[in-house]
Amino acid sequence: METFLHRFDDAGERSREAGRETTSSPGAQTISVIIPVHNGGANFRRCLASLAAAAPPAAEVIVVADGDTDGSRFLAESFGAQVLKLRAPRGPAGARNLGARRARGDILFFLDADVVIPPDALRQVADVFRQEPGVAAVFGSYDDEPAVPNFLSQYKNLFHHYVHQTARAEASTFWGGCGAIRRDAFLAVGGFDESYRRPSIEDIELGHRLKRAGYRIRLNKALQVKHLKRWTVASLLQSDFWCRAVPWTELIMRDRRFINDLNVRVSSRISVLLTYGSLGSLIGAWWWAGFWALAATLGFALLALNAPLYRFFHCKRGLWFAIRALPWHWLYYLYCGLAFVIGVVRYLAPRQRVAGVGLARTRGEWSGK
């Protein structure tokens, strides 16, 4: 715990400890909601409104204005949130850590600024921790009714929902968009790695460290939030490739650990190989017609392996939506494979090993080294 508290002044530390004494009681755990925001706009207002309607309410709502210029911090204040301001953006990892340092609750509930929670979200979180005292963290998923109607927003959010809803309840990672952690566990592992300066895999990396330290993480499939973000071709590819797939590969290389869960399940890895095999066979068919048969065989295998997802798309949005989703999903496997190669190369180049160095530097700052 000393790692977080070291940077507090004496008065702030005494104030927080006094707050913990008044808000905590045996058998009851208080929840601090922490939201990083950078120019949240109208989506942020909807997020705050959903929090205001939560029953029971949070013990406190802490909004970290991460270098915002659109007045998001004033909006948060109008909803009664405690606002912490960063002059320059530090990314969600640094903003969440700052909020956690100021929080008084026993449970730290992290939310993204572009999600709407159901009224019973905090109750669901509290119930998990009360009923399963051995669980250190819990997270949910997006719901199956994305707010933005354009095709890519529907596809991206429904894909996220499906992956989480079909994953193991005993999770191997964490999600910061709607995820809660016991305060003592969060402090023990050193919080988020602040070397991730933009939205990336800082939550996944934290989950890896929690698991490595022996903590249990629970995926609560009933805890679902509505995502308000509008996805475009550029934002989807940038996020999936550079902000997630490449750094996730570097994390896998760092930990020497492939998990069979969420986006890195064995079926996903096989799908990457099938996609590249199909593409290679189609290219080879220009020189030898026999490759057409191989391409068709591999394509059929890819369809069969991912049939449950395509049936889900069909069930939720109809046949035309499922057909349109096919090329995007296969493109997803193509750029995941490319990102894996790039991630391995970046990891093996010593000058690119920034995440581990950044985490060590951050821990040093917290401990006063």
Q: 46 lies in a domain?
A: yes
CA 261/CA 56 separation, integer angstroms: 32
The dihedral sign for the CA sequence 363, 364, 365, 369: positive
CA 296/CA 278 separation, integer angstroms: 7
SS3 60: strand
Ranges of residues in the chain whose predicted pLDDT is under 50: 1-26, 351-369
pLDDT of residue 28: 72
Residue 111 β-bridge partners: 178
Residue 7: phi, psi to the nearest 5? -85, 0
pLDDT of residue 1: 31
Q: 312 lies in a domain?
A: no
Report the number of distinct structural domains present in the chain.
1
Q: 367 lies in a domain?
A: no
Cβ proximity of 161 and 316 under 8 Å: no
pLDDT digits (tens, 9 = 90+) for 336-362: 999 999 999 999 886 444 444 444 444
Peptide bond between residue 56 and the one before it cis (omega within 30 degrees of 0): yes
Through-space distance between the first and last CA atoms of the chain, rounded to whole angstroms: 15
Cβ proximity of 141 and 161 under 8 Å: yes
For residue 107, which of 58, 63, 176, 142 has the smallest C-alpha distance? 58
Q: What one-character-per-residue DSSP string does 90-114 give?
A: -HHHHHHHHHHHH--SSEEEEE-TT
Domain that holds residue 160: 2-230
Q: 343 lies in a domain?
A: no
Q: 136 lies in a domain?
A: yes
pLDDT of residue 143: 98
Which CATH number covers residue 23?
A: 3.90.550.10
DSSP class of residue 287 equals T
Q: 284 lies in a domain?
A: no
Tokens encoding 158: 């429904």
pLDDT of residue 355: 44
Q: 207 lies in a domain?
A: yes
